[in-house]
């Protein structure tokens, strides 16, 4: 079901703060957490969709604080605990000078290396398709505001590893992705949107079928 990260079309967050200076990092914590995220991914202890899943499933009151390095750190901490590297209590012990013992030397195989045959593409550019109406459980990349909407495929993006399966570590399942264009006035039921459009990348599993 939708969680707080699935933000498209929600209201109540106020105007966008537009005045920020363009620097990559603003605080030492932001630098440290970014470096750790990248370093853990390079070392095989982290992966993008598992990490996204960990952040998306933080308590909403923490996610909504929008302290980005905190959210990313808590996601990273959750992933490392799941993978047995840094268990709950380890950091407290380490802050007292005790290094945890008996931790795995190598990361678990997050994704089996042998690929399944890619899912065949069922749709083509120009097709009118209806996005699945029923919400998906667990980590997925379907924006909630597009559920049940009808759009037109404007590009075939080939195959991308299916994020739902990556997050649960079921494996690498190459899956067709399409760019689908929607009319904003239909999505939001707002005639004033005129010809404004929304384009999103939709995995084939999120498509119910061709629309008439």
Partner 1 sequence: MSADHDHDHDAHSHAAHSYAEWHTTPPPDIQLRIKAMESLLVEMGVIDPAMLDGIVDFYERQVGPRNGARIVARAWADPEFKQRLLADPAAAVAELGMPGISGDHVVMVENTPETHNMIVCTLCSCYPWQTMGLPPVWFKSAAYRSRAVSHPRDVLREFGVDLPPATSVKVWDSTADTRYMILPMRPAGTDGLSEDQLADLVTRDSMIGTGLPLEPAP
Residues 26-85 that bind partner 1 (CB under 8 A): 26-27, 29-36, 38-40, 42-43, 45, 52, 55-56, 59, 61-62, 64-70, 73-74, 76-77, 85
Among 60, 103, 109, 168, binds partner 1 (CB under 8 A): 103
C-beta of 116 vs 161, nearer to partner 1:
161
Q: In the bound complex, what is the minimum distance in angstroms from residue 194's beta carbon to partner 1?
A: 6
Task: Supply angle C-alpha 54, 146, 190, rounded to 5.
Answer: 135
Q: What is the DSSP string of 99-127?
A: PP-S--SS---SS-SSPPPPPPP---TT-
Which residues from 166-185 bind partner 1, rule CB under 8 A?
A: 177, 179, 181, 184
Stretch that binds partner 1, among 17-25, 111-119, 129-137, 164-172 (CB under 8 A): 17-25
Distance (Å, rounded) from C-alpha 162 to C-alpha 203?
8
Please pick, from the candidates 82, 135, 170, 196, the single residue that binds partner 1 as defined by CB under 8 A.
196
CB 104 to partner 1: min, Å: 10
Q: Encode 46-77: b = buried (16+ Cβ within 10 Å), e = exposed.
A: bbebbbbbbbbbbeeeebeeeeebbbbbbbbe
Give the separation between CA 161 and CA 50, rounded to whole angstroms. Answer: 13
Label the pairing between strands 174-183 and 150-161: antiparallel
Nearest approach in angstroms of CB 159 to partner 1 is 10
What minimum distance in Å lies between the beta carbon of 131 and partner 1?
Answer: 11
Backbone angles phi, psi at 175, to 5 degrees: -140, 140
Residue 152: CB minimum distance to partner 1, A: 13
- Tell me the C-alpha distance between 87 and 200, whole Å: 38
- Per CB under 8 A, 20 contacts partner 1: yes
Tokens of 158: 């080939």
Identified binder of partner 1 from the candidate list 82, 84, 91, 108, rule CB under 8 A = 91
């Amino acid at each position: 079901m939708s969680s707080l990260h699935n933000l498209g079309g929600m209201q109540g967050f106020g105007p966008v703060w537009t005045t920020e200076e363009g620097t990559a990092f603003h605080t030492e914590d932001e630098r440290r957490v970014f470096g750790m995220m990248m370093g853990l991914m390079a070392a095989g202890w982290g992966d993008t969709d598992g990490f996204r899943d960990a952040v998306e499933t933080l308590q909403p009151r923490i996610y909504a604080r929008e302290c980005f390095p905190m959210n990313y750190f808590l996601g990273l901490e959750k992933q490392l605990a799941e993978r047995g590297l840094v268990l709950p209590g380890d950091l407290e012990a380490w802050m007292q000078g005790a290094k945890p013992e008996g931790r795995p030397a190598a990361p678990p195989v997050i994704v089996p290396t042998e690929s399944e045959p890619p899912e065949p593409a069922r749709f083509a550019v120009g097709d009118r398709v209806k996005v699945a109406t029923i919400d998906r459980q667990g980590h997925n990349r379907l924006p909630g505001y597009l559920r049940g909407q009808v759009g037109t495929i404007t590009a075939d993006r080939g195959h991308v590893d299916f994020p739902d399966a990556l997050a649960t570590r079921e494996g690498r399942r190459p899956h067709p992705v399409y760019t689908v264009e929607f009319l904003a006035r239909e999505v939001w039921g707002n005639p004033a949107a005129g010809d404004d459009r929304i384009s999103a990348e939709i995995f084939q599993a999120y498509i119910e079928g061709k629309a008439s």
